[in-house]
């Protein structure tokens, strides 16, 4: 499994926009992304209206403090996002740097808390789009495969269940861990949940597989058409059928609402089935 991606938000004083972006990202990512913030010329304290506007949506940044950019951190993150037009970061090898030219309501005569709410909402929209990028890249890769623009020669397996929060995520975790770079695997749900089942996360961690960076997501036409093998797990009539695909229905108990002790047998059954599938596909298990 890949390491958790890391993002650094930067503005000038690290008292307003970059702290808001970091707070909103932490809240939305729920541990799937490491989040940092810093300033090119940090101030003494956080902007009180920034703090207030985030508290209104359930995000608390009151324990944060403005801080300068740590050069070691700058080299270690995957993505640096500068906010506004005044913060600038010099290029760093192998680190993507982008700018969010955020809304500035004061230019339209809007001030006070109403201004900060508009800034918050603009930043939150951008945060949500950034989180969606990972799923979008998966869709683009699938579309390229469907259109004949991506021929990797690797089999592609899609694991489907109802909420994409337990069974299909554990199957994806085992398959990705065991197949390594010898195959491609995705997962999806007919009614995606809000988060990965914590008991499933804990059960997988017990065998050294981290699925905390995953998140429930729907399947799409592109992904369905790109798959060679589609494994369904209890999604019933909602599971799609495409001609020319190999289908298997895995009859597994739903781990929803179960504690980790009850999830372990499901985990073990999934591992057995994944190993059998790898053998049938002539994919060596690592």
Tokens at residue 165, please?
């929060």
* Residues 173, 279: Cα–Cα separation, whole Å: 17
Tell the residue number behind the tokens 């695909």, with chain if given.
245
Task: Kindly give the residue spans of alpha helices, DSSP state H, lying in 147-254.
Answer: 167-179, 198-206, 221-226
Tokens at residue 9, please?
């938000």
Q: Is the dihedral of CA 139, 145, 149, 154 positive or negative?
A: positive
Q: Packing angle between helix 198-206 and helix 167-179, nearest 10 degrees?
A: 30
Give Cα 117 distance to the centre of its chain.
Answer: 25
**18, 198 contact by CB (below 8 A):** no
* Residues 251, 213: Cα–Cα separation, whole Å: 26
Q: Which residues are tagged catalytic?
A: 161, 235, 239
Tokens at residue 12, please?
């000038």
* Residues 103, 105: Cα–Cα separation, whole Å: 6
């Amino acid at each position: 499994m890949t390491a958790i991606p890391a993002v650094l938000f930067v503005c000038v004083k690290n008292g307003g926009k970059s702290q808001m972006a970091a707070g909103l990202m932490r809240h939305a990512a729920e541990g799937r992304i490491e989040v940092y913030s810093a300033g090119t010329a940090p101030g003494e304290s956080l902007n009180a209206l920034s703090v207030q506007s985030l508290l209104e949506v359930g995000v608390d940044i009151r324990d944060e403090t403005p801080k300068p950019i740590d050069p070691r951190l700058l080299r270690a993150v995957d993505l640096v996002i500068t906010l506004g037009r005044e913060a600038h970061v010099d290029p760093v090898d192998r680190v993507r740097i982008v700018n969010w030219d955020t809304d500035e309501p004061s230019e339209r005569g809007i001030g006070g808390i109403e201004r900060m709410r508009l800034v918050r909402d603009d930043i939150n929209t951008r945060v949500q789009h950034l989180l969606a990028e990972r799923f979008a890249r998966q869709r683009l890769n699938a579309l390229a495969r469907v259109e004949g623009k991506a021929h990797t020669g690797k089999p592609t397996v899609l694991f489907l269940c109802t909420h994409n929060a337990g069974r299909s995520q554990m199957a994806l975790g085992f398959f990705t861990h065991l197949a390594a770079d010898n195959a491609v695997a995705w997962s999806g749900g007919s009614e995606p949940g809000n988060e990965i089942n914590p008991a499933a996360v804990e059960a997988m961690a017990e065998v050294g597989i981290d699925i905390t960076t995953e998140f429930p997501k729907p399947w799409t036409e592109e992904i369905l058409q790109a798959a060679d093998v589609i494994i369904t797990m209890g999604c019933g009539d909602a599971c799609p059928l495409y001609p020319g695909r190999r289908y298997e229905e895995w009859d597994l108990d739903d781990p929803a609402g179960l504690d980790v002790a009850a999830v372990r047998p499901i985990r073990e059954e999934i591992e057995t089935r994944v190993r059998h599938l790898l053998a049938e596909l002539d994919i060596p298990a690592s």
